[in-house]
Amino acid sequence: MKRVSITLYGKSYEFATDGSEELINYVNRRIKDLQLNYKNLYEEIPFDELLVLMLCDLLEQEYNLKKNIESTLFRLKEKLKNVLQ
């Protein structure tokens, strides 16, 4: 495990990960993107509420992506089944 530092709206945080450098770079890039996307809200609502909103948005995106992948996988299985018959 290595310790990684991130900065979110000027506040520094550390976490431990055994993830790759590619993963760490992705997280840092996404944190920067999120800060830009939520910049106006950061100025309007409390920080903890903003973090909850960001987390919920990310979980919603994750759920939708998972459903899309499952749907695509199902369609592929059906096509394969039809081709192999």
Hey, what are 26's tokens? 């992705």
Q: How many CA within 13 A on the CB side of residue 30?
A: 9
Among left, alpha and beta (phi > 0; psi -120 to 50; other), residue 3 is beta
**Count of structural domains, the chain:** 1
pLDDT in tens, 16-68: 999 999 999 998 999 999 999 898 888 899 988 999 999 999 999 999 999 99
Domain range for 38 is 2-84
pLDDT at 76 over 90: yes
Query: What is d(CA 38, CA 9) in angstroms, rounded to the nearest whole number?
Result: 10
